């Protein structure tokens, strides 16, 4: 007989989802009301304001897409890109490749800029691409590449696009709430993220914001977006201003309760405090990993504090290690993706998962599992190194 599902309590330290705050889970358990209920409309307005705070923007067209971050990506391209457009796409990991797929599905022409996995996007290559393709109308890049743990210089890249009269599309799925993201001052045109990373809400929502000039481009489209569900001309009527909203789709009411609560938590902590917490815990984790003799896969200058990519040492079985961490310690870390599959682990310190306790738990568990496989290490050295950072 099929029974109700009761999941175990895991510590989520992979590339997402992250641990969800009990406050968020409690908020999601509140009574469901209609998606056009006047009280829910008021909540929608609050969510918009909180997202504007988190994204550092005054953009009117700011909302959560009722689908995960991949839908945020598709919404950006489906609304800003038309058939025949030329789009410069930067790829230094998995998600730049998905951007290329979106460009092609829009009937546009991608111009690819390739950088090594684990390295940031090279701004000089971007400038050269615009010089070679002055017709390019959009630049698309990943700010925080989840597949590698590398951060690119979003401010500089957005400025290059702006100077060439192009729009910028920024993948900030792993960015929002973890490191600096200044939408307006960077002149970013479209920024999208996900609810399950540093916001520590449940998966399934994608915050997105469009600049004023991006919204004007959308309103002036001469061809329909290839996506009905993600067409901002239609969604605006539901997430727009005023108490009266036009039906577009049945919003995930309780999931939005959770997003509202997670954004409240972020605002209560403060953006700079959140960034500092992520950075400190990252530095402690790195100190511990290096004390175990492990090597980080991304140079210090552009590492993501919320997503730590570390090389798997020789003689250690990738799958066996992650399985034992999960089964013996209820701890989840992530495998490498693409070119780094089987070569790296991705250890997340995102949102509610970015705590002193989780840093120590991860290091102690990893030490036990690796020692069991015969890895040569000094017992306790990793925790001592981490504590020296945490207690400084």
Per-residue pLDDT tens digits for 261-312: 999 999 999 999 999 999 999 999 999 999 999 999 999 999 999 999 999 9
Mean pLDDT of the chain: 97
Residues of the chain with pLDDT > 90, as a percent, come to 97
Q: Shortest CA distance to 206 belongs to which of 192, 220, 188, 216?
A: 192
Same domain, 104 and 57: yes
Determine the length of the chain.
Answer: 392
Same domain, 254 and 285: no
The alpha helices in 252-355, defined as continuous H runs, are 253-269, 271-291, 318-329
Same domain, 208 and 313: no
Give the tens place of pLDDT for each residue, 170-190: 999 999 999 999 999 999 999
Q: Is residue 181 part of a domain?
A: yes
Same domain, 113 and 253: yes
- Is the CB of residue 149 less than 8 Å from the CB of residue 308? yes
Same domain, 239 and 302: no
CATH of the domain at 51: 3.40.640.10
Same domain, 262 and 322: no
Q: Is residue 67 part of a domain?
A: yes
Give the tens place of pLDDT for each residue, 242-273: 667 889 999 999 999 999 999 999 999 999 99
Q: What is the mean pLDDT of residues 324-335?
A: 98
Domain boundary among 205, 237, 267: 267
Same domain, 218 and 81: yes
Q: Using alpha carbons only, give the angle 258, 326, 372 rounded to the nearest 5 degrees.
A: 150
Burial class of residue 180 (count of CB atoms within 10 Å of its CB; 0-12, 13-18, 19+) = middle
Q: Identify the pLDDT of residue 242.
A: 61
Q: Is residue 9 part of a domain?
A: no
Same domain, 260 and 289: no
Domain ranges, residue 218? 21-267
Q: Is residue 249 part of a domain?
A: yes
Q: How many domains does the chain have?
A: 2
Same domain, 311 and 254: no
Same domain, 132 and 207: yes
Q: Is residue 2 part of a domain?
A: no
Domain boundary among 217, 252, 267: 267
Say yes or no to pLDDT of 337 above 80: yes
Q: Is residue 15 part of a domain?
A: no
Domain boundary among 242, 267, 292: 267
Q: Is residue 14 part of a domain?
A: no
- Is the CB of residue 345 less than 8 Å from the CB of residue 334? yes
Q: What is the mean pLDDT of residues 330-339?
A: 96
Burial class of residue 16 (count of CB atoms within 10 Å of its CB; 0-12, 13-18, 19+) = buried
196 DSSP assignment: T
Say yes or no to pLDDT of 196 above 70: yes
Same domain, 34 and 107: yes
Give the tens place of pLDDT for each residue, 104-162: 999 999 999 999 999 999 999 999 999 999 999 999 999 999 999 999 999 999 999 99
30 DSSP assignment: S
Angle between helices 212-219 and 69-80 (to 10 degrees): 60
Q: Is residue 309 part of a domain?
A: yes
* Structural element, H or E, at residue 381: helix 381-390
Residues of the chain with pLDDT > 70, as a percent, come to 99
Same domain, 181 and 304: no
Kindly report the pTM of this predicted structure. Answer: 0.97
Q: What is the mean pLDDT of residues 180-207?
A: 98
Q: What's the Cα-to-Cα distance from 351 to each of 183, 206, 264, 297, rounded to whole Å? A: 20, 16, 13, 22
Q: Identify the pLDDT of residue 243.
A: 61
């Amino acid at each position: 007989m099929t029974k109700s599902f009761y999941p175990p309590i895991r510590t989520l330290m992979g590339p997402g989802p992250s641990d969800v705050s009990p406050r968020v889970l409690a908020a999601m358990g509140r009574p469901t009301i209609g998606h056009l209920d006047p009280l829910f409309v008021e909540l929608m307005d609050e969510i918009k304001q909180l997202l504007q705070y988190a994204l550092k923007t005054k953009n009117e067209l700011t909302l959560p897409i009722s689908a995960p971050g991949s839908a945020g990506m598709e919404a950006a391209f489906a609304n800003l890109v038309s058939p025949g457009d030329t789009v410069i796409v930067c790829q230094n990991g998995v998600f730049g490749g998905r951007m290329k797929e979106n460009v092609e599905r829009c009937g546009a022409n991608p111009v690819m800029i390739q950088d090594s996995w684990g390295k940031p996007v090279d701004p000089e290559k971007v400038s050269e691409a615009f010089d070679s393709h002055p017709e390019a109308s959009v630049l698309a890049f990943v700010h925080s590449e989840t597949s590698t743990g590398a951060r690119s210089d979003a401010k500089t890249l957005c400025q290059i696009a702006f100077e060439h009269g192009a729009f910028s599309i920024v993948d900030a799925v792993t960015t929002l709430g973890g490191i600096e993201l200044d939408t307006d001052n960077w002149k970013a045109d479209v920024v999208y993220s996900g609810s399950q990373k540093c916001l520590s809400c449940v998966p399934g929502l994608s915050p997105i914001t469009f600049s004023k000039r991006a919204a004007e481009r959308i309103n002036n489209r001469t061809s329909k977006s290839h996506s009905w569900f993600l067409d901002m001309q239609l969604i605006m009527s539901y997430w727009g201003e005023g108490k009266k909203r036009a039906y577009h789709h049945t919003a995930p009411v309780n999931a939005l309760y959770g997003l509202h609560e997670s954004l409240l938590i972020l605002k209560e902590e403060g953006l700079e405090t959140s960034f500092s917490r992520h950075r400190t815990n990252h530095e402690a984790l790195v100190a511990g990993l290096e004390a175990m003799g492990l090597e980080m896969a991304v140079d210090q200058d552009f590492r993501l504090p919320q997503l730590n990519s570390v090389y798997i040492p020789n003689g250690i079985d990738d799958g066996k290690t992650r399985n034992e961490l999960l089964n013996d310690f209820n701890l989840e870390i992530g495998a490498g993706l693409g070119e780094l599959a089987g070569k790296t682990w991705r250890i997340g310190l995102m949102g509610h998962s970015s705590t002193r306790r989780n840093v120590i738990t991860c290091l102690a568990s990893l030490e036990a599992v690796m020692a069991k496989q015969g890895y040569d290490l000094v017992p306790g050295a990793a925790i001592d190194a981490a504590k020296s950072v945490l207690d400084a």
